[in-house]
Amino acid sequence: MNSKIKDILEWAYCIIIALVLAMLFRYFIGTPTIVKQVSMYPTLIQDERLWLNRWGRTTKTLPERGEIITFEEPAKITYSSSEIDNSNPVAQYEEKTGFNWFVHNFLEIGKRSYIKRVIALPGEHVEIKDGGVYINGEKLEEDYLQDGIVTDVTGVGFTDFIVPENCVLAMGDNRNHSTDCRNFGCIPLEKIESTVAIRIWPLNKWGEIK
């Protein structure tokens, strides 16, 4: 093997190793993202850049109430009235295995994710009524919402249920323009991808998000 071929192979090995390490970091530690929708307005605005912390997924740790998370889009978004089961309010997903799992979850090719705020935790009784969210009978104070915003369910949705074990209820701050757990049910821990760590762009808004 001549020295030129050897140099090319060494560079190829270095590039492959760097790509593998980058993918591992992205999946297990953290990654940047861009806000693409209006469902979290005014907390998050379209085209803002965020840094996502994925360590919680690695350690299988449930997020806390008030944290902003990203999670995989459920397979079923809308329900008919006959399909709503408040005794089992868990979002439905199509399970992928083998190479399909790797492409979908690790490489994230063809994968869509939502960004919402955690509202309720496992074992809590949630009622959506009178324009607000009630947890265990007490109305939740939500200072992050704009004045005049009410929480209701348009059409068919989950309105009175107990959050199942290892699941969270998440909603967008822009309630009138958010498709969220009111529509498709609570998100299982294994489908939560990350928590929002900081805003990294624009620079004048750099920092923690509340």
Q: Tell me the C-alpha distance between 195 and 175, whole Å.
A: 20
pTM value is 0.91
Domain that holds residue 118: 3-205
Kindly give the confidence (pLDDT) of every residue in the chain, 210 residues in length, as a single tens digit, with 9 standing for 90 and above: 577 777 778 888 889 999 989 889 999 999 999 999 999 999 999 999 999 999 999 999 999 999 999 999 999 999 988 899 999 999 999 988 888 888 888 888 888 999 999 999 999 999 999 999 999 999 999 999 999 899 999 888 999 999 999 999 999 999 999 999 999 999 999 999 999 999 999 999 998 887
Structural domain count, the chain? 1
Q: Tell me the C-alpha distance between 198 and 191, whole Å.
A: 21
Establish if 210 belongs to a structural domain: no
- Given 116, 178, 191, 194, which residue is catalytic? 116
- Given 36, 39, 113, 191, which residue is catalytic? 39
The reply to whether 116 belongs to the active site is yes
Cβ atoms of 63 and 163 within 8 Å: the answer is no
Q: Tell me the C-alpha distance between 94 and 150, whole Å.
A: 32
CATH code of 164's domain: 2.10.109.10
